[in-house]
Amino acid sequence: RACALACRHCRSEAQPHRDPHELNPAEASRLIRQLAELNPPMLILTGGDPLMRSDALDLVREATAAGLHVSLSPSATKRLLNSDFGEIKAAGVERVSLSLDGATRETHDAFRGVAGTFDRTIEAVHRAHSAGLSVQINTTLTRGNLHEFEAFKNLMFELKPAMWSVFLLVPTGRAGIADLPDPWDVERVFEDMAALVGKA
């Protein structure tokens, strides 16, 4: 649950410090072995921020060695930018998933609760591309950012992620019903997205 950000919509209600009840390394290894027996299509390490665990890449290596396909969903913090993206790839991460919840610096940083998050996310996308990592960008649509949808589309054409996953806000954790976008606006946006997919 540990994360250096303070996102308004956080479903896990992440906190600045690691939860004392989180899995220890031995328990995490046992879980990876159990997951390997189930053979899921993908193991996604998320949080909070998975890089808040010092053994995150050790777990990636162990999962990869067990035959699992691993994706990493870190928070766009200084910790991420201080990481070696080549090492992340070499550990076995196949895809990095990053969040952009504002098409502008102001909107995204307000959503994430920490100044500079937008710029760090853009830099992380470029560094992941340079390291040969597949990039997925996740966007949560809310009443506060739906008006930026056209700008979001333009940004995706610039960043060229392998996948752009668009979600509707779930009113749980720190997110409230008042943050939900108007249903008619959502319908218009998804019709627009369907038209984009049809042209692809």
Confidence of residue 18 (pLDDT cuts 50, 70, 90): confident
Residue 89 has pLDDT above 90, yes or no: yes
Q: What is the rounded average pLDDT of the residues 102-114?
A: 92
User: What pLDDT does 186 receive?
Assistant: 75
Whole-number Å distance between alpha carbons of 193 and 186: 10
Copy the structure tokens of residue 26.
């031995």
Cα–Cα–Cα angle for 13, 4, 40, nearest 5°?
65
Strands 43-45, 134-141: pairing is unpaired
Are 55 and 28 in contact by the 8 Å Cβ rule? The answer is yes
